A and B are shown apart, each in its own frame.
Chain A
Amino acid sequence: MTLTTTPPAELVDLSSIKTVKQVPYTEYFVSGHRTCQGCESALVMRYIAKAAGPRTIVLGSTGCMYVANTSYYTTPWVVPWMHTQLGAAGSAALGAAAGLKVLMRKGKLANELINVIAFCGDGGGADMGLGAISAALTHAEYRFLIILYDNESYANTDIQLSGSTPYGAVTTFSPSGKKRRIMHTRWKKNTPGALVAGHPDAAYIATACASYGVDFMNKVRKGLAAGGPAFIHVLDPCPKGWHYDPQLSHELGKLAIETGIWSLWEMEDHTVKLNGTTRAIATGRAKRKPVREYLSQQGRFAHFTEEDYALFQRRVDEQWTKWLIPGVVSFGIEAGTPLNTPAPAAADV
C-alpha cells in the first residue's frame, strides 16, 4: 500500500474547543455498532474519535466497546481500529507508540504526529490491566492516550462486579438475596487517584464524564498534545448494568458529579486542577446533592435501606472532608504538615 509522505498539518487539530459550536462536525465513529440504547460508552467513543481526528489509530481492549461495538462488516470506526486483549490497553498503547517512534526515527515511516489511543473498560483497566497501564504511564518517552471507560461492571459478560463497582450495587455476582441484602461490600477503587499519585512521569491524567462533552473532548486533546503518556478515566452510566431508563444517562452522569461521588479533575505539569461542578463544590460555589438523588434512580441500589444510604453518604462525605484533594487522593495528611517545602539553596546542595 502507498503511504502519504506528508499529511496536511490541518488534519491534526488538538486546539482547545471553547464552545459546543466549535466542536468539529466530522465524525470518525459512526453507525454500525450495536450498543444498548442510552449507552454512554458509545458516546465516549464518538467523542474520542471526533476530538482526535483522522490521524489517529485506536486500540480497543475486550469489553462492551469491542464485542457490541466492533462487529465484522459493520465497524463504526472510520479511523484504523485494532483489538487488544482485556488486560492489554497499556501495553497496546506502549507497543504501538514505540513502534511508530522507531519507524519514524529510522526513516521507515514518514515523520508525523499520529495519535495513539487505547481504551479499556473498568474490568480491563481497573482490574486486569492496571499493571500494564501503570507500566505504560512510566514511559515518558512515548506519546499515547489510554482511556478507561468505566461503566462500573463487566457489562458485556452479563454485569458482573469489578473493582470499580460501587459499594452495595447489585450485579450478577452480587445479587441481593434473602439472607444477604448486600453481597458487594468493597468500596469503589480510586483508579485515577492511584494512577495520578503513583506516576510522576505521566504527562496528563484526568477524569471525565460524557455528560460534559466539551470538557471531555478537550481532555482528549490535552492528553494527546501532552507529549507523553496520558490517561483519562471516564464514568459512563450504563442503563443495562445500573438498571435505569435509558433516556436518563446524561442526567445520571451529571448527578454522579453533583453528589460528589465522581469528581472532574485533571493533572498537568505535576499539578491537579479540579474542573467544572467539582471545582464549584470544592470552592463552595455549589452545594453537594445528597447521594440518594443519584442512587435511588438506579435499580442496582433498589435494595438499599436508610442505613445503606447513610453509610454511602458518610463514605462520600469522607472523600470531601478527609481526602487530601476532594475526590482525587484517597487519604489525608496530619494536620499542620506543610505540603510544600522550599528547595535547598544552591550553596547547600
Chain B
Amino acid sequence: MVIAVPPHTTSNAARPKKFEEEELLLTGSEAIAHALRLADVDIVGAYPIRPYDAVMQAVAAMIADGKMDCEYIVAEGEHSQFELVKHASAVGARSFVGSSGVGWFYAFEAIAVTAGLRLPVVANVGNRALDDPGAFGVEHNDALAVRDLGWLMTWVETGQEAFDAAVIAYKVAEDPRVMLPCAVSTDGAFLTHSQHLVKIPPREVVEQFLPKYDLGDRLFHPDNPITIAPQVDQDWLTEIRKQNDAAMRRAPDVIREAYREYYELTGRQREPFVEEYMTDDADYVLVGQGTIAMPGRVIVRRLREQGHKVGFARLKWFRPFPADEVVERLGRFKGVGIIDRDYSFGSPHHGGVLFTEFRAAFYDSPKRPAMINIIGGLGGREFTAADGQEMFNLLQQATAGELKTNVHWIGVRE
C-alpha cells in the first residue's frame, strides 16, 4: 500500500475561514465539554475519579447553566457508568463517558462489550497511573489495557486538539463503515487540568461536520424487533469477531477523510496519525504520544542548539495503529527512540507497549532504523532537559551499535 506522505514538519497555519471562532482559555477537560455541547450529546454517564472527572464537572456546569441539553446520570460505580451509556447508545442516544486509572479498569467488562456490540460510545480517559501504590499522575497503561478489544484510541496534546479530537471522534466512531467506540486520551494533570487558548467554532460548523447519529437497522426500538447479542457460541463467534476486525481495518481511511474534512473546515488538524517536529533533515527522532510532545520539542531545540540533527514525532492514533504510515515516515531516520509512559512487563524486550508495537510494525520493512525504548515519566513525573540529553545519548550510542540493551528506564533513582 502506497501512502502519500505530507511534508514532514507539520504546519498548522490556519486557512482563511468563513466563520468567526470564539477563543477561550480552557483546560483540556473543559475543551472536551465544549465539544460535547456542540455535538449535541444526548447522555453522559458520570462517576468521580481524578483526573478525568474534570470533564464531567464542566458538563454539569453547562447543563446547570442551560447551555447544554442532555441526560446527566451519576452512576454508583464505573461498571454501571459504562453499562448505562452503552444501552443508551443502543436506543439511539449519542453517548459520552470516561474514567481514569483503576476506574477505567473497574468498568473493564462494560468496555469490552461496548466494542463487541459495535456501539459508538465516545469516552475520555484522563490517563492516570494504576494503583497500587497510588499516584494521581499520568501513565498510559489504563487506556492501553483495552488495545486489543476494538476501541478506537487517540492521544491528544493540547486543549485545542482535545476539542477537535472529541468532535472528530464522534464522526469516526459513528461512521457506518466503522461503528466502534472511541477513547480520547488526555494526559492526567498535564492536559486535563492545564489551560490553553482554544478556538471554538460556531455550532453550525460542528453540525455541518457531524452527521446525526444513526444506528440504522441495529436500533433498539419496538419498531425494530431484533435480538441483540444472543448466545452464538463457536458457531458464529469467529465470523462476528472478523466483522470487528474489518471495521477496524476500514477505520484508517475514515479517520483520514474526517481529518481532511475538518482541516478544510477549520484549518486545524491536518495530520491524522503522526505529527512531526524539526524532522526535515534529522538523523534521529524521538517518538511519543500525548503531552510528552511539549517537553519533547524543548528537548529537540536544546539538542539542535548543540548541532544534533534530531526531531520529534508524535503518534496521534494508537488504534488503529497507523503501521504503514509509521514505517514510511520513521524508516528514513538512522535512529528512533520510542518513549513509553507505560510498561508491558514480560513483553518481548521487556519494553513498553508503544515500543513493542513500533517494532512489530517494522518487521517486514526493508528500512529498519536502530530503535530503542525509553520508559519514563511514570505517575506524572516530568521529563527534564537532562532526561532529554540522556535519551539522545542512548539513541546515538544505540545507532552506533554501542549498546547491549534496547530498553532504558530513564531517571530511575538507585
Check if A and B associate. Answer: yes
Residues of A within 8 Å of B225, CB to CB, are 77-80
- The yes or no answer to A135 lying at the interface (CB within 8 A) is yes
> Interface digits, B52-92 against A, CB 8 Å rule (1 contact, 0 not)?
00000000000000000111010111011101111111111
Tell me whether A81 and B79 are in contact (CB under 8 A). Answer: no
Bin the interface of chain B by size.
35 or more
Q: Which of A78, A103, A131 is in CB contact (< 8 Å) with B92?
A: A103
Say yes or no: A80-B228 contact (C-beta < 8 A), given A56-B222, A91-B79, A101-B71: yes
- The yes or no answer to B216 lying at the interface (CB within 8 A) is yes
Say yes or no: A72-B232 contact (C-beta < 8 A), given A85-B109, A95-B43, A99-B92: yes
Q: Which of A80, A87, A92, A101 is in CB contact (< 8 Å) with B222?
A: A80
B interface majority secondary structure: mixed
Q: Which of A81, A87, A101 is in CB contact (< 8 Å) with B227?
A: A81
Tell me whether A132 and B79 are in contact (CB under 8 A). Answer: yes
Say yes or no: A85-B110 contact (C-beta < 8 A), given A98-B88, A102-B71, A102-B93: yes
Tell me whether B91 and A99 are in contact (CB under 8 A). Answer: yes
Say yes or no: A131-B80 contact (C-beta < 8 A), given A95-B88, A102-B93, A106-B69: yes
Interface stretch among A14-22, A63-71, A328-336? Answer: A63-71
Bin the interface of chain A by size.
35 or more
CA distance A70 to B230 in the complex (A): 5
Tell me whether B235 and A54 are in contact (CB under 8 A). Answer: no
> Interface digits, A178-220 against B, CB 8 Å rule (1 contact, 0 not)?
0000000000000000000000000000000000000000000
CA distance A97 to B209 in the complex (A): 29
Min Cβ gap B397→A in Å is: 50
- The yes or no answer to A35 lying at the interface (CB within 8 A) is no
- The yes or no answer to A82 lying at the interface (CB within 8 A) is yes
- The yes or no answer to B175 lying at the interface (CB within 8 A) is no
- The yes or no answer to A75 lying at the interface (CB within 8 A) is yes
Tell me whether A98 and B230 are in contact (CB under 8 A). Answer: no
Residues of B within 8 Å of A3, CB to CB, are 219, 221, 223-224
17 contacts between A and B (CB under 8 A): A1-B217, A57-B220, A57-B222, A71-B230, A73-B230, A82-B90, A85-B113, A91-B87, A92-B87, A95-B84, A98-B84, A98-B93, A102-B43, A103-B92, A132-B79, A132-B83, A134-B76
17 more CB-based (< 8 A) A-B contacts, given A84-B83, A88-B110, A109-B92? A70-B227, A77-B225, A79-B225, A80-B222, A80-B227, A85-B113, A91-B81, A94-B73, A94-B80, A95-B85, A98-B71, A99-B90, A99-B95, A103-B91, A103-B93, A106-B42, A131-B77
